[in-house]
Amino acid sequence: MLPNTGKLAGCTLFITGASRGIGKAIALKAAKDGANIVIAAKTAEPHRTLPGTIYTAAEEIEAAGGKALPCIVNVREEQQIINAVEKAVKTFGGIDILVNNASAISLTGTLETATKKVNLMMDVNVRGTYLTSKACLPHLRKSKNPHILNLSPPMNLNPMWFKNHCAYTISKYGMSMCVLGMAEEFRGEVAVNALWPKTAIHTAAMDMLGGAGIEKQCRKTDILADAAYCILTKPKTFTGNFIIDEVLLREEGVKDFDVYAIAPGHPLMPDFFLDVEIDTTAMKQERYGATQEEKKLSGSQLEGADGGKVKTESAAAEPSGAV
């Protein structure tokens, strides 16, 4: 586990979908530093099957050492986003970090995906991420070390990631395109990065998608909380990166990944959108702003024995169990 350094003390984080799962885990990690957390989520009343509300999350954040501001926000409603941003600035004096975590998923084929599901995924994943970023950016620009972090994958254009759930893939890559565009647009002002897990993560959504027993093939949300913490405590020059949790944590010196497993030793399920080993040196050069010439060189080093290029935009996922 990655220890807290206190670097987020007094920082204000605006986290969408922070009432449970990954969003809440990131919030609790920052709360241990004494950060202010804006819980921008839509669950105000207890859900019939899903645990947690914005108010129960607020209690946990305060107990962990942070300050919490629960706000009812459905990211499909622009006015709710704007109201929550205004309330955050009024309460805490500004916004330092935005985590676009709220997401909708339907792993269905084109003919099986109802229009309302298509609208939901596009509205929450792409439009919600875009509008929340837009609303927070004027405030982020005033921060000393501002970050936007989207929970979205490296853009792997292998058709296998489109054929079974085209709408979902388009919507998640839309979030990744926000990273690509905004990192460049606000370079030098605001860091914009993406974070994605190497393996499946155990959340209430995973239980619904995977069914009974799926958790043994998953890791805990803690691994993403540690990776997010690591990114958000870096300087704003660290921008435009598509980061895989395990790759980053290995670089940070974490060696024991069993602590993150639900069932240590059990084969883990690789996450979506990842299908080849990545070359971490190429990622590093990309991260730390290598020159175009250096990038060309790193590209030539990545030629396989047969001269074929190794894809660097996707991360390691050795098949280790049923996908």
User: At 33, phi and psi to the nearest 5?
Assistant: -85, -10
As a whole number, the mean pLDDT across the chain is: 87
In angstroms, how far is CA 39 from the centroid of its own chain?
Answer: 15
pLDDT at 8 over 80: yes
Residue type present at position 25: A
Record the pTM. Answer: 0.85
Average pLDDT of the segment spanning 145-167: 97
As a whole number of angstroms, the distance between CA 210 and CA 24 comes to 21
Higher pLDDT: 50 or 158? It is 158
Q: What tens digit of pLDDT does each residue of 169-194 get?
A: 999 999 999 999 999 999 999 999 99
Q: Cα dist. 130→7, 171, 176, 284, 287 in Å?
A: 27, 12, 11, 27, 23
Residue 316: which pLDDT band, with cuts at 50, 70 and 90?
very low
Q: Which residue has the tokens 């107990």?
A: 63
* pLDDT for 288 beyond 60: no
With the C-alpha atoms ordered 187, 190, 191, 196, is the resulting torsion angle positive or negative? negative
What's the pLDDT band for 223 if we cut at 50, 70, 90?
Answer: very high
Amino acid at 134: K
Cα 243 from Cα 266, distance rounded (Å): 24
Structure tokens at 145: 């070390």
The CA distances from residue 192 to 97, 133, 182, 248, in Å, are 10, 10, 7, 16
Residue bearing the bigger pLDDT, 291 or 133: 133
Q: Is-contact 151 99, C-beta < 8 A?
A: yes
Q: How many CB atoms lie within 10 A of CB 143?
A: 18
- Domain borders along the chain are 12-260
pLDDT of residue 290: 39
Phi-psi region of 273 (alpha: psi -120 to 50; beta: other; left: phi over 0): left
CA–CA dist 14, 37 (Å, integer): 6
Q: What is the pLDDT of residue 153?
A: 98
**For this structure, is 260 an active site residue?**
no
What average pLDDT does the segment 252-259 reach? 96
Render pLDDT for 100-146 as a digit per residue (tens, 0 to 9). 999 999 999 999 999 999 999 999 999 999 999 999 999 999 999 99
| Predicted pLDDT at 192 | 98
For residue 134, CA distances in Å to 5, 155, 281 come to 30, 22, 32
List the catalytic residue out of 168, 173, 229, 260. Answer: 168
Q: For the domain covering 12-260, report its CATH number.
A: 3.40.50.720
Per-residue pLDDT, 204: 84
| Higher-scoring residue by pLDDT: 250, 212 | 250
What's the average model confidence in pLDDT over 284-300? 38
292 has pLDDT over 50: no
Within 10 angstroms of residue 309's Cβ, the number of other Cβ atoms is 10
Question: CA-CA distance, 262 to 97, in Å (whole number)?
Answer: 29
Q: Phi and psi for 283 in degrees, rounded to 5?
A: -65, -40
pLDDT digit string, tens, across residues 59-77: 999 999 999 999 999 999 9
State the angle between helix axes of 129-140 and 78-92 in degrees (0 to 180), rounded to the nearest 10.
30
pLDDT of residue 322 exceeding 60, the answer is no
pLDDT band at residue 51, thresholds of 50, 70 and 90?
confident
- Cα separations in angstroms, 107 against 102, 151, 265, 307: 17, 17, 28, 35
Give the per-residue pLDDT at 320. 35
d(CA 264, CA 34): 31
Alpha helices by DSSP H, 141-220: 160-163, 166-185, 204-210
Q: How many CA atoms lie within 13 A of 208 on its CB side?
A: 10
**What is the pLDDT averaged over residues 15-42?**
97
Confidence grade of residue 50 (pLDDT, cut at 50, 70, 90): confident
CA dist 190 → 90, 193, 233 (Å): 21, 10, 13
Q: At what angle do helices 54-64 and 21-31 cross, to 10 degrees?
A: 30
